[in-house]
Structure 1
Amino acid sequence: MGGERKQRSFLTTIIVISTFGGLLFGYDTGVINGALPFMSETLGLNAFTEGVVASSLLLGAAIGAIVGGRLSDYMGRRKNIIYLAVLFFVGTLGCTFAPNVTVMVIFRFLLGLAVGGASVTVPTYLAEVSPAERRGRMVTQNELMIVGGQLLAFTCNAVLGNMMADDVNVWRYMLAIASLPAVFLFIGMLRMPESPRWLISKGKNEEALTVLQKIRTRDQAQIELDEVKGTVLKGSKLKQASLKDLSIPWIRRIVFLGIGIAVVQQITGVNSIMYYGTQILRDSGFETEAALIANIANGLISVIAVCVGIWMLGKVRRRPMLLVGLAGTTTSLLLIGIFSNVLAGSDMLPYVVLSLTVTFLAFMQGAVAPVTWLMLAEIFPLRIRGLGMGISVFCLWIANFFIGLTFPLLLEKIGLSTTFFVFTALGVIAIVFVKGFLPETKGKTLEELESQFRSHGDKYSQKEASEEVL
């Protein structure tokens, strides 16, 4: 019993330390929400350059996701997270002291490289160190830290924005806070173990067994070592993962599903609220200072919803949970569009919009987001996990980039109501995709999932199947 408690304690430490990458992800994407109104005055931003500043991080994240996936395959998950911590720190300081828009965009892009790399590497690391029965909760702890980082950003924005409203450089203080968790992540990961699955893939079986014995019972460690070695041996019959592997039907199907899951999360419009929530509330009728305070509700409900979502992942299946979440987000967006028309100019409108954004985020962060990141970490076999996660999360961030870039322009050109009607239509498309294509993954080990996807290729001709092994 004492040994099991020690192993659980060490697993908890791994979760806390590594998910500081998620905290930084959340803070750096959320802080722009409150910093942008003040930054616009100092740097002279318009609707287009506001979109460029906000979305430059997202473009960097798209590249960071695909490069980070490959680097984590090459150098290891742990070492990659350590380098990402350094990049988080450098990017934060560069943004904090940026004298103009050009420098700000450059360092926001660099910060995005770190965010994208973390969005791929941290969930992969957690999935590979966690036992099958706890994988859902462990991987979604990262999602909790992401929304926790956003809540921290919204709270710091509100406090600093109200206390230092007359200071034109208040946004610099908002940005600088992110340097502290970057230091903690760097120091903490120096003491964390490497992923045992990655070690086995590199032939370092003794090191992998040592790690497994720290986080499993002795018997479980040996069983898992043998199981993963078998999977690696099977995968070694194929050449090193590359884009050429997309010619293999079952791998192509997994990558298609990964891209679909990633894009579904973004076309809900969630990050229009997370990046521009203060602006949305201002457009609906709140003053800037009041909007900053009201926006904390968005962050708070996100944290509560993710906690509920983590609990639900252990109780219900992934696919129906995702469908319920998408139905809730799409309905909320539809109602925002309707009431923005019906109550235009009314004193009630800002409170109605705030209530609906909170409802939207309850469904989004309580169902859609946890399932998205968990399934992305689950569906890819070990040999192509870095490549598959990289491609999928690249597409996630590219979708995010276009939403971040165009949202201020949409608000300016077509208004709040019509903008949310557009997201409603995209939500319907997301529901159709999930219902039509997404399989269930709950209750299966990573190796069982790989076997399931491989067996899907049985419907292809014998010739195609033989080509798949070569």
Structure 2
Amino acid sequence: MDVNDDTPQAPAAAPATAVPDDAPPAVSRRLRIITLIATFGGLLFGYDTGVINGALPYMTDDLGLTPVTEGMVTSSLLLGAALGAVTGGRLSDTRGRRRTILTLAVLFFVGALGCTLAPTTAVMVVARFVLGLAVGGASVTVPVYLAEVSPAERRGALVTRNELMIVTGQLLAFTSNAIIAQVGGESGGVWRWMLVVATLPAVVLWFGMLVMPESPRWLASQSRFNDALEVLKQVRSRQRAEAELAEVSALAVKDEQEKLGGWQDMKSTPWVRKLMFVGFGIAIVQQITGVNTIMYYGTQILTDAGFAADSALTANIANGVISVLATFVGIWLLGRVSRRPMLMAGQMGTTAALLLIGVFSLVLPSGDGRAYAVLAMTVTFLAFQQGAISPVTWLMLSEIFPMRMRGFGMGVAAVVLWLTNFVIGLVFPSLVSGIGISNTFFLFVVAGLFSLAFVKFYVPETKGRTLETLEAELRARLS
């Protein structure tokens, strides 16, 4: 099944992209506000996954964590995210994208507060699991919401704003961890202050989404075509809104006839099954680079390389800074280059960086030389990961699935992503303890080579199509 043919196969009618979108400034401003508010879900995703990096060493003493319970605290969020992804995706298909994001904002708040007040390891694991439900749900629902609100020619830039907010959240976590550690010193419970910060953006997300519109494509999938048109007119010129609604409505009727939208439909529709295979592969490719070993255990990796504990916490901010800068570059590139070559370039860069981390850890003597060499390679790794692989992954997963099962399809793919993340987060400390950091990273290098082959032969190109045109193309190629 080779689906990487880049030749467009347009449907019989002219696509909505043929109608110029000469929207007035107020309309463009409305689209920017919608994007900003929705991506607070990405900010929370980033903060809640990144904060454990600096909080874990302080938490270990207060809660008496062992390597096993340390892995449980870290990975319980990931297990929750796997469940939250499929549940959130299904919920967003049945109840709407906006209402689902409002529910996730409440879960973010409750989970962060539970982690902050956790008196024991068991309570911490449960609270992190609840937080994971919100993270997983946001990882699916926010990109789908943005993809469905965005015009085709701006979809790449607007959807990847969520990735920018994810890495901004991680940078915020790294920075606030370092500041709180400096101010709080060795006082007990300093990690609780690191965790409670996440309640603030959860409040912003909830109040902000109260005044945001529902996804026009979800409204169309519910046969609420007049409501869909009113939303489109908020974020498009009138002429473009009407042309886009005609395209969306025709597809909604076709999907309704085929009854796409659940497990039974996925199993009984061959082209959708093949598409799910592609989605699973894209999700796994993003995770088996080992990116989240850097995000969750970056401070410990730098400590093992030769940094003092406080210096490692501060140096880890460089990882956050480069992630944000690289995502800016990724957003710029997505408007100019095709998705699939960008994904392959990212894979080559991360694989080379991981190889060098393993080599430097193996051959360089302990000290400043090895410490800064490893730091340079983690920064290089994150430049390729956050500048190419991560934005393309979340963007493509929000694009490739049929309209009526877009949330569900992305949710199931995200389950695979989060379960892969969970396994890696759980076993990484044990792998480093058992075979050493060099051999652990060499395993990721081998995985990177397999990922390159998968992207080359199976991943389709999605740039420059409306979601409806893309669905017609994939249906034709995979049937």
Contact 2:307 2:368 in 1 (8 A): no
Where does the alignment leave 5 or more consecutive residues of structure 2 unmatched? 1-20
Contact 1:328 1:360 in 2 (8 A): yes
Q: Deviations over 1:202-254 (max 9, x none)?
A: 11111111111111111111111111000001111112422222332210111
Q: Work out the CA distance in 2 between the residues paired with 1:380 and 1:90.
A: 31
Shift of 1:412: 1.4
Q: Work out the CA distance in 2 between the residues paired with 1:86 and 1:281.
A: 35
Residue in structure 2 matched with residue 268 of structure 1 by the alignment: 289
Q: Work out the CA distance in 2 between the residues paired with 1:356 and 1:2.
A: 45
Q: Deviations over 1:321-361 (max 9, x none)?
A: 11010000000000000110101424311111100000000
Shift of 1:409: 1.1
Higher deviation after alignment, 55-64 or 158-167: 158-167
Q: In structure 1, what residue type is equivalent to 2:220?
A: I
Residue in structure 1 matched with residue 240 of structure 2 by the alignment: 220
Q: Work out the CA distance in 2 between the residues paired with 1:3 and 1:307.
A: 25
Contact 2:81 2:415 in 1 (8 A): yes
Residue in structure 1 matched with residue 258 of structure 2 by the alignment: 238
1:338 aligns with 2:359: yes
Residue in structure 1 matched with residue 99 of structure 2 by the alignment: 79
Q: Work out the CA distance in 2 between the residues paired with 1:313 and 1:4.
A: 24
Contact 2:327 2:387 in 1 (8 A): yes
Cα distance change of structure 1 residues 288 and 392 upon mapping to structure 2, 3 Å threshold: same
Residue in structure 1 matched with residue 16 of structure 2 by the alignment: none
Shift of 1:298: 0.1
Residue in structure 1 matched with residue 334 of structure 2 by the alignment: 313
1:63 to 83, 88, 93: 83
Higher deviation after alignment, 223-232 or 246-255: 246-255
1:136 aligns with 2:156: yes
1:40 to 60, 65, 84: 60
Q: Deviations over 1:153-173 (max 9, x none)?
A: 000111112222211211000
**Count of residues in correspondence between the two structures:** 458
Shift of 1:10: 0.2
**Local SS of the residue matching 1:116:** helix
2:202 to 160, 173, 182: 182
TM-score, normalisation: structure 1:
0.96
Shift of 1:387: 1.6
Higher deviation after alignment, 177-186 or 229-238: 229-238
Shift of 1:435: 0.8
Written as runs of structure 1 = structure 2, the 5 A alignment for 1:243-392 is 243-244=263-264, 245-392=266-413
**Local SS of the residue matching 2:41:** helix
Q: In structure 2, what residue type is equivalent to 1:175?
A: L
Cα distance change of structure 1 residues 2 and 369 upon mapping to structure 2, 3 Å threshold: closer
Contact 1:332 1:357 in 2 (8 A): yes
Shift of 1:2: 10
Q: Work out the CA distance in 2 between the residues paired with 1:161 and 1:109.
A: 25
1:412 aligns with 2:408: no
What is the alpha-carbon root mean square deviation over aligned residues?
A: 1.1
Contact 2:28 2:235 in 1 (8 A): yes
Q: In structure 1, what residue type is equivalent to 2:47?
A: Y
Residue in structure 1 matched with residue 171 of structure 2 by the alignment: 151
Q: In structure 2, what residue type is equivalent to 1:390?
A: G
Q: Work out the CA distance in 1 between the residues paired with 2:80 and 2:244.
A: 37
Contact 2:58 2:191 in 1 (8 A): yes
Q: Work out the CA distance in 2 between the residues paired with 1:216 and 1:358.
A: 39
Q: Deviations over 1:298-341 (max 9, x none)?
A: 00000000000000001101011110100000000000001101
Q: Deviations over 1:416-464 (max 9, x none)?
A: 1111111111111111110111111111111111111111245xxxxxx
Q: In structure 1, what residue type is equivalent to 2:348?
A: A
Contact 2:22 2:237 in 1 (8 A): no
Q: Work out the CA distance in 1 between the residues paired with 2:366 and 2:329.
A: 36
Q: In structure 1, what residue type is equivalent to 2:364?
A: L
Percent identical across equivalent pairs? 60
Q: Work out the CA distance in 1 between the residues paired with 2:267 and 2:275.
A: 9
Higher deviation after alignment, 80-89 or 377-386: 377-386
1:91 to 111, 118, 134: 111
Q: Work out the CA distance in 2 between the residues paired with 1:161 and 1:402.
A: 29
Q: Work out the CA distance in 2 between the residues paired with 1:255 and 1:193.
A: 29
**Local SS of the residue matching 1:348:** helix
Higher deviation after alignment, 55-64 or 200-209: 200-209
Contact 1:47 1:412 in 2 (8 A): no
Q: Work out the CA distance in 1 between the residues paired with 2:247 and 2:304.
A: 56
Q: Deviations over 1:79-117 (max 9, x none)?
A: 100010000000000000000100000000000000000
TM-score, normalisation: structure 2:
0.94
Contact 2:31 2:235 in 1 (8 A): yes
Q: Which runs of 4+ in 1 moved over 3 A?
A: none
Q: Deviations over 1:98-156 (max 9, x none)?
A: 00100000000000000000000000000000000100000000000000000000001
Shift of 1:285: 1.0
Contact 1:21 1:185 in 2 (8 A): yes
Residue in structure 2 matched with residue 49 of structure 1 by the alignment: 69
Q: In structure 1, what residue type is equivalent to 2:423?
A: F
Q: Work out the CA distance in 1 between the residues paired with 2:83 and 2:103.
A: 16
1:452 aligns with 2:452: no
Where does the alignment leave 5 or more consecutive residues of structure 1 unmatched? 459-470
2:459 to 435, 438, 457: 438
Q: In structure 2, what residue type is equivalent to 1:355?
A: A
Q: Work out the CA distance in 2 between the residues paired with 1:82 and 1:457.
A: 36
Q: In structure 2, what residue type is equivalent to 1:281?
A: L
Q: Work out the CA distance in 2 between the residues paired with 1:198 and 1:205.
A: 10
Q: Work out the CA distance in 2 between the residues paired with 1:334 and 1:237.
A: 51
Contact 2:342 2:389 in 1 (8 A): yes
Q: Work out the CA distance in 2 between the residues paired with 1:286 and 1:47.
A: 21
